[in-house]
């Protein structure tokens, strides 16, 4: 059974509190992604689940069993590292077989599992090659194949795409998503890349300074962030935040957030006016950076054919339904702007 439960998990390194009372339930077959800035504790949490780090407090349960003192090899997990961690003197076949041999698995069963994993990951023609003869993407697939042959309860991925170039990141991301659909396995995935999180996860866990800020479906975190941290971390380009009382008073909030796609360049009855300071034309989209007196610098996601130039004076309108309101602590305010909350 591939369920996972974290009960009040904490971790200290000396005086430094790295993880602070983490609670999380993961159902069998879920794809969970941990995201957050560098140093937020996401990789430490993954290593605790794997048994590579000891707990300071709390419990880890895999398949309903407490595994706090169970060694990594007996937890029923398989981990894929960002550095691949392949043995250079072994072939692809040898790398995939080694863990099974050490566990005493019978030779016919080892071959069955390797053939199956190689077929899933299109490695059939590479089984006799050594890691030095493979591309970065192929090495990562071998590392994933080594995990598959163990038939684990949990797959753990620690930033597996960070060493790949942009094109390979996209391709390998699609392969991991397809792998999850094929295997129906429980997967825990750590990344600092919120695009990976949004496209892969059934649920995202947003971590900040050792605490869980919010957990939920990617679209729910995007549309209904619990606070300013989540609102600013999820989404690319990032949400615009405005604190000037001259602009926020009408929304009865300490600060407001507006995503770039919810601002429109207009010359008819604009809410704000400003000067174009920079543009980025990306083909399907154009990002326009506009400096206004009331709001400071705003990012607008405009259609690809939006032609404005640096120095142009433009107006801005806002999709009022999509304005996010926050109180003085950064917590999201619930309800309409005319509810009177502040």
Tokens 């504790």 correspond to what residue?
A: 41
| C-beta separation of 157 from 176 below 8 A | yes
Residue 11 belongs to a domain with what CATH number? 3.40.50.300
Same domain, 35 and 178: yes
Same domain, 9 and 62: yes
- Report helix, strand or coil for 257: strand
pTM: 0.92
- Report helix, strand or coil for 205: strand
| C-beta separation of 288 from 316 below 8 A | no
Structure tokens at 106: 């019978």
Tokens 């975190």 correspond to what residue?
A: 221
Q: What pLDDT does 69 receive?
A: 93
| C-beta separation of 45 from 206 below 8 A | no
Same domain, 254 and 325: yes
Structure tokens at 255: 């600060």
Please report the DSSP string for 72-91 in residue order: GGGTTEEEEETT----TTS-
Same domain, 93 and 142: yes
Of 182, 206, 229, the residue that ends a domain is: 229
Q: What pLDDT does 336 receive?
A: 54
Closest among 98, 162, 151 to 120, alpha carbons compared: 151
The maximal CA–CA distance of the chain, rounded, in angstroms, is: 75
C-alpha distances out from residue 42 to 16, 72, 233, Å: 15, 18, 15
Same domain, 103 and 215: yes
Rounded to whole angstroms, the Cα distance separating 49 from 254 reads 39
Closest among 188, 114, 203, 183 to 155, alpha carbons compared: 188
Same domain, 188 and 272: no
C-alpha distances out from residue 228 to 54, 74, 155, 209, 235, Å: 32, 41, 31, 14, 12
Q: What pLDDT does 326 receive?
A: 97
Of 206, 229, 252, the residue that ends a domain is: 229
Which residue range(s) make up the domain with 222? Answer: 4-229
- Report helix, strand or coil for 185: coil
Q: What pLDDT does 340 receive?
A: 46
DSSP strand pairing (285-292 vs 211-216): unpaired
Each residue's pLDDT tens digit in the chain (342 positions)? 689 999 999 999 999 999 999 999 999 999 999 999 999 999 999 999 999 999 999 999 999 999 999 999 899 999 998 888 899 999 999 999 999 999 899 999 999 999 999 998 889 999 999 999 999 889 989 999 999 999 998 999 999 888 888 888 888 889 899 999 989 999 999 998 888 999 999 999 999 999 999 999 999 999 999 999 999 999 989 999 999 999 999 999 999 999 999 999 998 899 999 999 999 999 899 999 999 999 999 999 998 887 899 999 999 999 999 999 999 999 999 865 555 444
Rounded to whole angstroms, the Cα distance separating 10 from 260 reads 37
C-alpha distances out from residue 149 to 57, 93, 154, 319, Å: 32, 11, 12, 50
Q: What pLDDT does 84 receive?
A: 83
Same domain, 253 and 218: no
C-alpha distances out from residue 298 to 6, 31, 244, 257, 321, Å: 40, 34, 13, 11, 18
Same domain, 167 and 94: yes
Same domain, 104 and 242: no
Count of structural domains within the chain:
2
What's phi and psi for 303, nearest 5 deg?
-60, 155
Rounded to whole angstroms, the Cα distance separating 28 from 185 reads 7
Residue 301 belongs to a domain with what CATH number? 2.40.50.140
Of 211, 229, 247, the residue that ends a domain is: 229
* 142: number of Cβ within 10 Å: 26
Q: What pLDDT does 137 receive?
A: 87
Same domain, 195 and 264: no
Q: What pLDDT does 243 receive?
A: 96
Closest among 154, 116, 156, 208 to 29, alpha carbons compared: 154
Quick one: angle between helices 107-121 and 136-148, nearest 10?
140
Rounded to whole angstroms, the Cα distance separating 86 from 157 reads 15
Same domain, 197 and 146: yes
């Amino acid at each position: 059974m591939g369920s996972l439960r974290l009960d009040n998990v904490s971790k200290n390194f000396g005086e430094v509190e790295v993880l602070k009372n983490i609670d999380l339930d993961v159902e069998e077959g879920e794809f969970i992604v941990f995201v957050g800035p560098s140093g937020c504790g996401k990789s430490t949490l993954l290593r605790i689940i794997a048994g590579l780090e000891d707990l300071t407090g709390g419990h880890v349960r895999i398949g309903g069993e407490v595994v706090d003192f169970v060694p990594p090899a007996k937890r029923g997990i398989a981990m894929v590292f960002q550095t691949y961690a392949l043995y250079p003197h072994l072939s692809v076949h040898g790398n995939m077989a080694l863990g099974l041999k050490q566990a005493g698995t019978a030779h016919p069963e080892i071959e069955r599992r390797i053939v199956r994993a190689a077929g899933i990951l299109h490695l059939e023609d590479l089984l006799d090659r050594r890691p030095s003869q493979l591309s970065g993407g192929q090495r990562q697939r071998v590392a994933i194949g080594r995990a598959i042959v163990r038939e684990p309860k949990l797959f753990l991925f620690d930033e597996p795409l960070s060493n790949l170039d942009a094109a390979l990141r996209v391709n390998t991301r699609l392969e991991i998503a397809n792998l999850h659909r094929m295997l129906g396995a429980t997967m825990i995935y750590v990344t600092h890349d919120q695009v990976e999180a949004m496209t892969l996860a059934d649920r995202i866990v947003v971590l900040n300074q050792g605490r869980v800020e919010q957990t939920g479906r990617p679209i729910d975190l995007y549309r209904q962030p619990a606070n300013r941290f989540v609102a600013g971390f999820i989404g690319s380009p990032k949400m615009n935040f405005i604190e000037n009382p001259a602009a926020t008073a009408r929304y009865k909030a300490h600060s407001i957030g507006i995503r770039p796609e919810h601002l429109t360049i207009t010359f008819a009855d604009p809410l704000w006016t400003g000067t174009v300071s920079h543009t980025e034309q990306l083909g399907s989209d154009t990002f326009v950076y506009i400096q206004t007196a009331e709001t400071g610098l705003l990012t607008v996601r405009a259609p690809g054919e939006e032609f404005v130039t640096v120095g142009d004076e433009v107006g801005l309108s806002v999709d009022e339904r999509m304005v996010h309101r926050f109180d003085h602590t950064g917590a999201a305010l619930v309800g309409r702007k005319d509810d009177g909350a502040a």
